[in-house]
Amino acid sequence: MAGPSRQRWTTILCFALLTAVTTVFFYRLVFHPGNTLTSFDIVAAQSEYKFVQWHSFSDWGRFPLWDPTVFCGKSIVGDSLPAVLNFPQWLFWITPTPALFGYILWFYATLGAWGMFLFAKRKGCDPQGAMLAAVVFVLGGKTAGHLYAGHVEVLITMLCLPWLMLAAEGVLEKPSFVRAGVFGGALALTSTCGSIQILYWHCLFLGAYALLWLLAGLSRRGWLATLRSAFAFAAGSLSFLVFAAPWWLPIISQTLLLSARARGTGYDFAAAYSPRYTDLLHLLWPLRGVPLLATEKILEETEYFWERTVYFGVIPLVLILPACLWPGKNRRSVVVLAFLAVITFLLSLGDHGPLLWLATRAIPGFVLFRCPGRMFFYTAFLVGLLVGLYVSGGGATTRKWPLLAISGALLTAAMGAVLLFWWKGDAPIRFVWLPIALLVLFVPVILLWMRGSLSEDLWKAAILLLVSADLFIVWQDHIVVAKTKDLLPKTPAMAYLVEQERKEEFRVLGTERGLNQTSAAKYGIEIVAGYHPGISGRYFDLYRKIWTSDESTSAALRLHSSDQIGCPAILDLMNVEYIAAGPKDGGLPGEKALVFPDVQGGPEIKVYRRDSALPRVCIVPGADVPAQGVPFLDALCSHDPRTGCLVEDRPYQGGEPFRPLPFERQSPSDLTTRFTSDKGGVVVISQAWHPDWRATDHGQLVEVRRVNYDFVGVCVGPGDHEIRVWYWPWDFYLGCYVAALGWATLAAAGAWTIRKRRRLAKAA
């Protein structure tokens, strides 16, 4: 069989083997379609996004632009986490079952393994070494930890890294406009996966790698070729702005105008959940402090272990020292990869390392993202490559084995020292036998290989098998599954609210327990409380003002009992007609409680009806400015919203008395109200304000005012009115046009290049 054809079939075979490996790792989900991950973020947030998108597509036949179910509404396209532009996740628009999360993660794990295999081969690995690199990166303990947490957006964005590295390597080695466009397109597709933090770090990592690549190749390639490569890499990075325009344009706009993310961020925020020195023991014992598979733990008990854990596998730890000290013919690549591995490892230590403080001050935007332990993903990527290169070296057995023996002895000594002198009884070790057993199995493999009794291919296969078995055991303890039908059961309280929702539009305040945002979104109920890292800054102010005291942050809203409400006027403005609370909740005076048993005999849920809530759409006499010197939110809490609304400037007086207004919906972000006013006033809509709301009166554009601090208002005069208010994200639509033009240009350029190559081949 000819060389290229044989290489092609070898690659296909390795792809099939990697697919089989990832399928085995995900077998509890792939082969059990009735199961779903019960990871925290999947239950608390990710499922909510998918239910909302499904309702928008199924119920209204609209592309999902606006999420009405939480926070009095929020933009979908102005937020990265819902991943509304991610093509594989459009499957949720057909069926919103959370079981799809397992298949999505399996798909990206397989895709990431393929990409890592190709990149490792490009860097000099043979097929066995490239497969080892793929397994170490994609299926390592860090991935397993975040799988336990349900960080879907983090994982699938991270697993795209090898493909980005492939595209970057291609444009650096053979710069051209088409390759630059492919690099930008790869960045654009990665951006749709949902994690801005990981995409930002990808860009930094790619930039650092490209800089080191250019410096390392300067002497052998010359200034001109190096400049061409640098220019092509920069052009590809900038082309991302074209290909991903519908992603970044609305997100940047919303972040600048609305987000609370930048409030209070600083070094302390960036260093949150930094790994402690004792967490480095996860390098040896990945299950230290990890909850049992069959036991559900709350976040405080698990101490966010997934942010601090790192595990490459014991055998890669044995191999990493000789991999760095014996670079073989790949010396230049090994030096670059080892340097980056050290940098990423030190950054991962957060405030226990020397680099995070410098990074937050020297790199723009670095301070906006917390959880530095996620940098361990990049360390795992580089460790996988280094180990793959070392295993691929072959030959020179007698010169290599002393390094392996020294590395293994050092690791064994470190494990013994920890067990004898450092370990504390209050932190028991689970599966302590695992790394020891693997080393016991690995030693005879090394001896047989050293003596020549084991061929190179068998030695590499044994290493790959041992590493896969090691990570498989770790992986399975992080997969917590439940039956899909049991994940979000409809409790009697929910059934009651769903029935009420057929008669009226209202919002629910989920306090101590009762309703979370995912279960509410599943049944089409709108809820005020919830979890969301990038909420509107003004909504964050309103939420904190509701309570007598509140410790919410921009990353998570705290839950409260209803007797802690200090400003009920804000709940009135939010159209909160029901409060769902637990048995320990004191409730609100004078309000009748409907008591429902919780599912499976748990504590009861009380649902309180509030009669003071404003309707979804109403008209009030006018708009006033708070008295001078009185903070706006204080004035709002002491103001009767039926006598008028509050604005920050340009008061308006009409005189029409308060009354509810009828309205019709064309979608969750498009409603029309028709009414007659004798004196004029302000139409107030209980919907979160956004600069992209548009309004017309009988087809003529009218101004949308921000009233009552963060709600929508339209000033009207006497007469008949037909007010239509809808969400029109112009930056998203503009981005779609720009991206369509960019992708069409790239496709045309690629087709022209392929046609040109075929002509040259025929001429030759």
- Is position 481 within any domain? no
pLDDT in tens, 506-539: 998 876 555 778 888 888 889 887 666 557 788 8
Smallest CA-to-CA distance from 619 within 719, 728, 710, 490 is with 719
Q: Is residue 564 part of a domain?
A: yes
Q: Report the pLDDT averaged over residues 286-301.
A: 48
Per-residue confidence (pLDDT) for residue 422, from 0 to 100:
56
Pick left, alpha or beta for residue 3 (phi over 0 → left; psi -120 to 50 → alpha; otherwise beta).
alpha
Contact (Cβ atoms closer than 8 angstroms) between residue 644 and residue 624: yes
Domain residues for the domain of 583 are: 491-609
Distance (Å, rounded) from C-alpha 569 to C-alpha 448?
A: 77
Query: What mean pLDDT do residues 623-640 have?
Result: 92
Please work out, in degrees rounded to the nearest 5, the angle formed at the alpha carbon of residue 205 by the alpha carbons of 199 and 209: 145
Whether residue 501 is found in the same domain as residue 545: yes
Residue 365: strand pairing partners: none
What confidence tens digit (pLDDT) does each residue in 352-397 have? Answer: 989 999 999 999 989 888 899 999 999 999 999 999 998 887 544 5
State the burial class of residue 36 (Cβ atoms within 10 Å of its Cβ: 0-12, 13-18, 19+): buried
Is 367 contained in some domain?
A: no
Closest CA to 749 of 236, 341, 303, 301: 236
Q: Does 572 lie in the same domain as 627?
A: no
Asked whether the predicted pLDDT for residue 398 surpasses 60, the reply is no
In the predicted model, what is the mean pLDDT of residues 473-480?
84
In a domain, 411, yes or no: no
Determine contact, residues 578/509, Cβ cutoff 8 Å: yes
Q: What is the Cα–Cα distance from 576 to 579, expressed in whole angstroms?
A: 7
In a domain, 38, yes or no: no
Q: Are 330 and 123 in contact (CB under 8 A)?
A: yes
Q: How far is CA 16 from the centre of its chain?
A: 28
**Ramachandran sector of residue 482 (left: φ over 0; alpha: ψ -120 to 50; beta: rest):** beta
Residue 506 is assigned to a structural domain of this protein: yes
- Number of domains observed in the structure of the chain: 3
List pLDDT tens digits, range 562-595: 778 889 999 999 999 988 877 667 666 667 777 8
Is there a single domain that holds both residue 584 and residue 691? no
Q: Are residues 531 and 623 in the same domain?
A: no
Of the residues 587, 609, 631, the one at which a domain ends: 609
Q: What percent of the chain has pLDDT over 90?
A: 48
Determine contact, residues 60/668, Cβ cutoff 8 Å: yes
Determine the number of helices (DSSP H) and then strands (DSSP E) in the chain.
30, 22
Band (pLDDT 50/70/90 cuts) for residue 205 is very high
Domain limit, last residue, from 556, 579, 609: 609
- 673/676 Cα distance (integer angstroms): 10
Q: What is the mean pLDDT of the chain?
A: 86
Buried b (16+ CB within 10 A) or exposed e, 669-704: bbbbbebebeebbbbbbbbbbbebbebebeeeebeb
**496 & 581 share domain:** yes
Per the domain annotation, does 691 fall within a domain?
yes
Q: Are strands 481-483 and 66-67 parallel, antiparallel or unpaired?
A: unpaired
Which secondary structure element, helix H or strand E, spans residue 607, and what is its range?
Answer: strand 605-609
Residues 673 and 591 in one domain: no
Contact criterion met (CB below 8 Å) for 274 and 351: yes
Are 517 and 553 members of one domain? yes
How would you classify residue 50: left for phi > 0, otherwise alpha for psi between -120 and 50, otherwise beta? alpha
Is residue 600 within 8 Å of residue 528, measured between CB atoms? no
Distances (CA, A) of 198 to 201, 366, 626: 5, 11, 43
Give yes or no: residues 598 and 647 share one domain.
no
**Strand blocks (E) in 31-164:** 35-37, 66-67, 74-75
Mark whether 722 and 748 lie in a shared domain.
no
Residue 154 placed within a domain = no
pLDDT for 142 equals: 92
Q: Which residue has the higher pLDDT, 605 or 131?
A: 131
Task: Scan for tokens 């009095």, then name that residue.
Answer: 72
Strand partners of residue 646: 624
Helix (H) or strand (E) holding 622: strand 622-624
Residues 724 and 743 in one domain: no
Q: How does pLDDT run across 748-762, given as a tens digit for each residue?
A: 988 888 888 878 777
Of 609, 640, 664, the domain-final residue: 609
Cα distance between the two ends of the chain? 23
596 shares its domain with 660 = no
Question: Can you say whether the dihedral through the CA atoms of 558, 559, 563, 568 is positive or negative?
Answer: positive
Does the pLDDT of residue 31 top 80, yes or no?
yes
pLDDT in tens, 316-338: 988 888 888 877 777 888 888 99
Contacts of 195 (CB under 8 A, 6+ apart): 80, 81, 151, 153, 154, 157, 158
Tell whether 199 and 255 lie within a shared domain.
yes
Q: Is the dihedral of CA 465, 471, 477, 481 positive or negative?
A: negative
**CA–CA dist 494, 596 (Å, integer):** 9
